[in-house]
Structure 1
Amino acid sequence: MTDISQEERAYRAALYEVDGIGPARIQVLLNYFGTAKSVWGASESTLKEIGLPKDAVFELGKRKSRIDPKQHLSALAKIGIRAIVPDDEEYPKLLKEIDNSPQVLFIRGRFLPQDERSLAVVGTRKATPYGRDVTERLVEQLAAQHFTIVSGLARGIDGTAHRAALESGARTIAVMGGGVDRVYPPEHVGLAQEIAKHGAVVSEFAPGKLPVPGNFPARNRIISGLSLGVLVIEGASQSGTKITASLAAQQGREVFAVPGPITSRQSQAPADLLKLGAKLVTDVSDILDELPDLKDSHTGRTKSVLEVNLDALTSEERKVVELLSEGNLHIDEIVRQVEMKAPVVSATLTMLEIKGVVKQLGGMVYGRK
């Protein structure tokens, strides 16, 4: 059960909707006044005396004249949006542990107790075929180990991670940089709806708030805060991905990174993190090794995403697999390098696809699976 009244929940949610009063200021106001209802009822002069900027005082007054917090919370519930607070049983325990944990989370979907076993999977919006491929494989392995996958619903690695989780039957949580009703990018609206059915779409930002760039550092601290660790798959040297990893380290969470081709710009962030001591990951066992409390569920080493049992393949298949281990290639280049006839290579690739060893990435380009 919860120790907070629905009335206090409504006032707290209403404060989050006031322009100019962000999460940090709300925490200061709650510390001073004790309750959100008291903040809502405070006079303009009192708010100014304690240092709230004039613009924020004006916006609060304007908001107070427009809505009744309790009625507004009921209206949000009618469109499938709830507000949860740290006193609620549903509020994630891991998130409570971080500094400045959100005093309100707006949510579509629901947190479940099993979401305490969660891992953030993050990376660049400009994912390469290699990055998408590795994301799919690792998320599939994490799903088999009953992890909930946390990410940010962005293009690239985030979207791939969410989809792979859903396809693997795992729960997944999307943390937004704007209101939960302001899905960005727009092509992920359908994905967000599926996530809400099989996990949760959450935000510290009130419904209606746009996902402006300044919101994303705050969003990233929630991604890491919800998770036992953060797995970085691709990202440029200067990227938000590294910010999330840095926040995870500050929160005492594990940081994992997947190595990539040194010729790719998107391999720079993982490489930088590995130099700083992040755990190198090629399969889920590398993650479980760093999470000792979860080892009782680890029943053996999973096949590495970078390894395959070559003894089980024909000589032609081994040649192709060994070649593709170095990177994705067009079928014409495969024919040239393995020095086999095109029909033989085509048949070999088909058999490797059936065996789940390789897959076509589009345009007759093949890569390891």
Structure 2
Amino acid sequence: MEDRYYWAALQISLELGSHSLFSLYRYFPAGEAVFRSDEKDIKRVPNLSPQVAERIIRYRRNVEPERVAEELLKKGIRVTLLGEADYPAMLSNIMEPPVILYTKGELPDPQLPLIAVVGARRATPYGKVVARKLARELVEAGWGVVSGMARGIDTAAHEGALEGNGYTLAVFGCGINICYPRENRRLMESIRDKGCLLSEFPPDTPPLARNFPIRNRIISGCALGTVVVEAGEKSGSLITAGFALEQGREVFAVPGPVTSANSRGAHRLIKQGAKLVETVSDILEEFPYIKRMQAVSQPPEKKETNLTLEEAAVFQHLSLEPVSLEHLAERAGLPVSVVGAVLTMLEIKGLVQRLPGPFYIKSDV
């Protein structure tokens, strides 16, 4: 049996944390050796707590690697071990990389450069549109997008990458048998089919709060840089940016309205030296040594939409900032009733999105 399944069985059956598993991996030449070693050898493992050592000694005889391997294969879960050829090279270079990656889908091609796009779960319409657009343009430029499949910015980033027919990698803070959040079931399936679902946690691990900061080091660790689109003052995205800095990776941040609480974290990063991002070119110019097949300066042509004079007069006052019907009417110099009818037509044409309030924003930039 392949050695990876001995390690997986140890982690799953004995509920070993990532730090304990890494300590064992550095000490023993193979997972099978942990099962056959003398008790004194296990107690000698550096950085392994006495409690964990005792648990391994007492319960390892009950672990069934063959059964664990059979269950993983039956569920279509691939196990990749640190040091194997398919293990992402960028991730293997971080401090204490995961010993095991559980995946569904295809791990990224070693030649594919990756960028992480992360942000607030309670994202604004502005943040979602920006994240989606950046991700789409990144994959159109030949890059892959990494995120955490959380609500808000993460979801928008994955969706943008898929819209651009590109590669996206979703890093879970739970096991990959768990869809979290539940409403992302369809997105999860799309990523599995066209990209990769990845977790260092055993497949049935629930979405415990303590696991998400741990997984953030993998999001940044897989990528050449991390883009924070929106983040509050205590956002988990700032943890991801911190890991990126520790790992020697680039950090980018998208500015937002100074009145928005969701902009404070990103603005703080910019003050601390993160590169301000207005367009995808601001990201890619930091990596001039990476040449891709498609130039960013030549994005796919969009179908032209003919606008009436009234539609054009209203549309020019729309942006990613939500604006009310009354303010639009005031800016355009048109009656509220006329602007309301115009907005309905712009929605039908897919140019405008209506928000609760009601407020309106451009569907794209």
Instruction: Report TM bin, short chain.
Output: 0.7 to 0.9
**1:337 maps to amino acid:** R
CA distance in 1: counterparts of 2:283 and 2:139, whole angstroms:
13
Describe how 1:1-369 pairs up with structure 2 within 5 A. Answer: 6-19=1-14, 21-50=16-45, 52-61=48-57, 64-113=60-109, 116-295=112-291, 297=293, 299=295, 301=297, 316=310, 319-325=313-319, 327-346=321-340, 348-349=342-343, 358-361=352-355, 364-368=358-362, 369=364
Specify the SS of the correspondent of 2:290.
helix
Matches of 1:254 and 1:134 in 2, distance apart?
A: 19
The residue type equivalent to 2:103 in the other structure is I
| Cα pair 2:101 2:198 within 8 Å, conserved | yes
For residues 20 and 59 of structure 1, the distance between their equivalents in structure 2, rounded to whole angstroms, comes to: 10
Higher helix share: 1
**Shift of the alpha carbon at 1:50?**
4.1
- Looking at structure 1, the residues matched to 18 and 76 of structure 2 have their Cα atoms a distance apart, in angstroms, of 23
Change (3 A) 1:320 1:110: same
Pair 254,297 (structure 1): closer, same or farther in 2 beyond 3 Å? farther
Q: Residues 142 and 293 of structure 2 are in contact (CA less than 8 Å); yes or no, is this contact kept in structure 1?
A: no
Q: How far has the Cα of 1:189 moved from its partner?
A: 2.8
Q: TM-score, normalised by structure 1?
A: 0.87
The answer on whether the counterparts of 1:20 and 1:59 sit within 8 Å (CA) in structure 2 is no
Question: Structure 1 pair 335/72, CA: closer, same or farther in 2 (3 Å)?
Answer: same
Residue identity (%) = 39
Return the offset for 1:15.
2.4
SS at match of 1:121: strand
Label 1:135 to 1:92 Cα distance change in 2 as closer, same or farther (>3 A).
same
Give the Å deviation of 1:39.
1.6
Q: 1:188 & 1:326 partners in 2: Cα distance?
A: 24
Using a 3 Å threshold, how does the CA distance of structure 1 residues 97 and 32 change in structure 2: closer, same or farther? closer
Output the aligned Cα RMSD.
Answer: 2.7
Letter matched to residue 187 of structure 1: E
Which 5+ residue runs of structure 1 have no aligned equivalent?
A: 1-5, 304-311
Unaligned runs of 5+ in 2: 300-305
- Supply the distance in 2 between the matched residues of 1:100 and 1:26 (Cα, whole angstroms): 10
Letter matched to residue 8 of structure 1 = D
d(CA) in 1 for partners of 2:333 and 2:322? 17
TM-score by length of 2: 0.87
Cα deviation digits, residues 90-120 of structure 1 (max 9, x gap): 2112212222222210111111416732111
What displacement does 1:321 show?
4.2
Helix, strand or coil at the partner of 2:173 = coil
Seen in structure 2, the aligned counterparts of structure 1 residues 326 and 198 have a Cα distance that, compared at 3 Å, is closer
CA distance in 2, matches of 1:277, 1:317: 41
Distance 2:12 2:293 in 1: 42
